[in-house]
Structure 1
Amino acid sequence: MKKEVKQAVLLRIGSVCLLVVAIGFVLYSSVNALYESALNYIDCGRYEEAANILLMLPPYKDTEALAEYTQNQYAFNTEKEKLISRTVGKPEQLEFDTKYQSQIDALYNSIREEQKNAYEQEKRETFGGKLPFDGMNKNDLQYTILGEPDTVRIDEGWSTYATYEWYTDDGELLAQCTAVIDGAHADNEIFGFEYYGDETP
């Protein structure tokens, strides 16, 4: 009797194990099928559908990296201004479906380029057509009406000072200003701006 009970228990355990394996196989097959369908959507340029599938899948192959890519690519195609207004991290390297890596890298570079252009456009709108003024950041001098300084003189001491100078075509000093660029009091803000031209441009 004990032997029969033991065999019955072993059979039950074996059945449960087989059921678990079968369920696991079905789940794996389902996840893989959905993952492959998402890749097909990417190949067709249907990034929203691909993202929707990848976001609902558990961690599997490159789901996380591709989900981020497809969301960003869809946003780049439909809401570019909103996308480039936020920080987009450097993409992860794919481990499995590496054929999409070049697309991911190209999108990241495009986003960075658009962000750079938007930043520079904003600076041009803020400082364009204006003379430099005390309190502005030295990095923004290039966007003013004077453009990049013709010379930069560095004076080192307890703090490092940079003197920016602009000259006329005849070699006459046109304008100058100073900024503390290193040391305890460094703030990169210009001060002491002077314009020596006959007329304000």
Structure 2
Amino acid sequence: MTTAAAADLATRGLALFPLPPGGRRPAGPWRAQCLTNPERVRELWRDGDNIGVSCRASRVVGLDLDVDGADGPAVLAELAARLGEPWPETFTVATPSGGRHLYFAAPVGCTIGSFSGGRTALGPGIDVRGPGRRSGGYLIGPGSVVGGVSYVIDHDAPVQPLPDWIASRLSVSWSRSSR
């Protein structure tokens, strides 16, 4: 099952690496293990392995909207409304806790790191996984199972560019002219 899910993600242009079955953390160095070719994924993936999505190799920024503690989806919706911006429509994954992972294409010339625990400029309940300066973060991909509950695609859409109103709050080296 996870082999097909991993191949689907590679078809979408995402760079993947295996996570242990049921796990969230890589068993060892993962950055050099990233696969982007769906055929190679089908050949090499062990069914049952969870799926890690490398933000750096995929050139994506992931917003992890938590629901335990602060309500990340509500915080993002409130920020968007205050700025007069629409909810960002992009590839979205539902997490086992009831949260969401929103995937965005990282803007060219934009350096966004990974932050969690309420330390993002977007507000509490929103963790960020980004390409970073050196190694980048990762997201757990749909098809993975943690605690007996699956990560599933919630909004099946192409990965959209990171909206300016989000990028400007997260990036240490972003400006409208660099897009």
TM range (shorter): under 0.3
Higher normalized strand content (fraction of residues): 2
Which protein has greater RCO, CA pairs closer than 8 Å, 6+ apart?
2
Of structures 1 and 2, the larger Rg is shown by 1
Q: TM-score, normalised to structure 1's length?
A: 0.21
Higher normalized helix content (fraction of residues): 1
